[in-house]
Each structure stands twice: as structure tokens, then as C-alpha cells.
Chains A and B, each alone.
Chain A
Amino acid sequence: MSIRVRVNGVEQELDVDPEMPLLWALRDVLGLTGTKYGCGQALCGACSVHLDGQVVRACVTPIRRADGREVTTIEGLSPDGGHPLQRAWVELGVPQCGFCQSGQLMCAAALLAKKPQPTDADIDQSLAGNLCRCGTYTRIRAAVKKAAGVPDSK
């Protein structure tokens, strides 16, 4: 079955099984490996991408769900890595191993798009499904606030 999907602004026509997880299509078919495979069960958030602006877990999203829609991955968050979140991530040295960070960034980007001035509770609730085994949570929260221009009291 042919799936038409716009990925990071580029029209794609994929001849794949409609049940193929979007994550597989992104990584194995399109070579967009910035989105990570973590648990495969929507429990860790490493595969978070935007589908028409909404965060979805690509590992549990059959590609058929994306047919005719727009997908944004970490590669498409900004043309040059200059999204305010990406800049804040670099300035605060957020990542440790880095594996979860694209998912963290995609969730944080969706949060700021909807709530440009998030509270700590907003950040914690929206990123609660993005696990970081290195424990960079405090730096993640600080970087989200930095990108939003919200003073970080801690």
C-alpha cells in the first residue's frame, strides 16, 4: 500500500505495510535516525514525533495513521539546530548519553507551542512520559524554562 506523508516539509510516498510503525518508516525507510527506538510500547518517549503538531509515540503509530498528514521529527524541528530549545540544550549541556533527548525536545517543543510560559508543573506533566536513564531531568526543566524566557529559581 502506498502511503503519502509529508515528513519535515518533504512529500514522501512510501510503499510499505500500512501497519508498519511510523518509527520503522522514519528510521529504516527514510533514514531519519534522530528518532530513537526505546521500549517499543509507548512507555519511554524516546520515539516522540509530531503528527500534525501533536506529539505521538512513533513506535505505536501505524504508518497508515500518518497517511495524508504532516510528520515532524527532530531533524525538522529547525533548519539549522537553532530552535530556542536546541540552543538552550547546548548552552546548559543538558544531554549525557543523549539517547532520549530527541524525544524530550519534541515533547518540549509541543509544550512551548501551546504554552509559551510553562510552569514547573506544566513541564513535569508534559514530559512525564519521557524517561532519561541518565537522570538529566533537572537540566531538561531548566533548559525548557530558559528557552521560554522563564526565570529558573533553582
Chain B
Amino acid sequence: MASVVFLASAGGCRRQPDSEAARWESLPPVDARELRSLDMFQRIEDPAQRSRALFLETSRVYLHPRCSNCHPDGDSPYQDSGEMLHNPPVTRGPEDKGVVGMECTGCHQERNLELARVPGAPNWHLAPRSMSWVGKSPRQLCEQLKDPARNGGKTLEQLVEHNAHDKLVAWGWAPGSGRQPAPGTQARFGELVAAWVATGAQCPSEEVRP
């Protein structure tokens, strides 16, 4: 009898990730190509929980192939849907801009080149190894983005500015040549990142996915 009581009480106590997932699922659905607007998150009253949900939403951008392909887990970028290494086989080199003879800018220029489908944006380069995030969970990525040793030495305010206005980041929403853009817009992404910071830059639980 005692064991029945114990099981019943354990079953009645919801684990934190489940409630977090439930909060996430309570948000209005949006098309995979869109980002939820800031006002949709206001229904989550607790700022810390709202912060976690905001990060999950932004993780849909961070972990989208248009962004993560150049934050690889090795020395070569990915391309297309993220399952294929860059062709031709480039390596990051000492400054994350390729090696002599195979510099990123040997092909990638200031803007997309439609005639040969070569993508382009200012300062085309790979994220340094310390900023690798391919294969990471939203929580792992969140913790990394708050760590200046692994986020390019940025404060949270600088992170907001980078995400909202950097021209290479902007390419993710205008990749050209039929490539699937990152969801939403850079402006909305910037708003969501700013709101995440303003609500304490909380990180979601390891198990929760957008």
C-alpha cells in the first residue's frame, strides 16, 4: 500500500522540463518559415520561463543550416541542408578565412552572385572553433552564447547588436539562388534576442526542443 501511495504522489509531481515543454506548446503555432512575434510570448507570465521560451524560438534561427553551416563542428563548413560538407573541400585556415589558394573570398564576394549561385556577403568567413554549435542542443548553445570565451568575446548587449544588424548574419534571410532562408526576419530575430536578454537570458532545460 505504501508503494502505491508513493507512486501516486510521484506521478502527481510534474517534472520541470515537462512544464517547460507545455508552456512552449501553449504558444500560438507559426509556419516553419516564420518566427513568433514578441507579443505571443506575453502569455507566459513568469519572466524566467518567458526567457527560456524566447531562447527556444531564437534557437530555430541559430541552428538553421543558413547559420549553423558556418559554425561547424570541425574545420570545414557545411552547405545546403547541413548534411553535406562544403564543396570544394575548404579548410578554415589560421584566421577562419580559408588557406592560401582557397580563401573564402576567392569565390564568396560582397553579395550573392546569381549567375553561378555563389553566395556572398561582406566579411564572409567561418566562425572560430570556439564558436562551433553544430550538433548542440538549444540549452548547450544558450550556455555557450552567454560565455564570452565561446561567443567571440561579446557582452550580451553586443550579442543583441550582432544578431540584429551584422551584415553577414543578415545574409541568412537573403541567401539567394533558391536556398531556404532562416525563419522570420533579422529584425524580429533581433527583437527576440533582445527580449531574451531583458528577461535574464535564461536557458531552457536540456530536454526541451522548439
Does B9 make an interface contact (CB < 8 A)? no
Interface contact tally, CB-CB below 8 A: 69
In the complex, chain A residues 65-120 whose Cβ is within 8 Å of any chain B Cβ:
65, 107-108, 110-111, 113-115
Q: Report which A residues bind B (CB closer than 8 A).
A: 19, 21, 40-45, 48, 54-57, 59-62, 65, 107-108, 110-111, 113-115, 122, 125-129
User: Cβ of B107 < 8 Å from any Cβ of A?
Assistant: yes
Residues of B within 8 A of A125 (CB): 91, 93, 99, 102
Contact indicator B118/A42 (Cβ below 8 Å)? yes
> How many residues of chain B have a CB within 8 Å of chain A?
20
Residues B115 and A21 in contact, CB atoms below 8 Å apart: yes
Chain B residues near A (Cβ < 8 Å): 87-91, 93, 99-103, 105-107, 109, 113, 115-118
Which residue of A19, A56, A114, A115 contacts B107 across the interface (Cβ within 8 Å)? A56
Tell whether, in the assembled complex, residue A54 and residue B106 are in contact, meaning their CB atoms are under 8 Å apart. Answer: yes
Say whether, besides A45-B88, A54-B106, A57-B106, A127 and B101 are in contact (CB < 8 Å).
yes
Q: Across the interface, name the chain B residue whose C-beta is closest to A42.
A: B107
**Nearest neighbor of B107 in chain A, beta-carbon distance:** A42
Bound complex: CA A48 to CA B90 (Å): 15
B43–chain A nearest beta-carbon distance, Å: 48
Query: B90: which A residues are within 8 A, CB to CB?
Result: 128-129
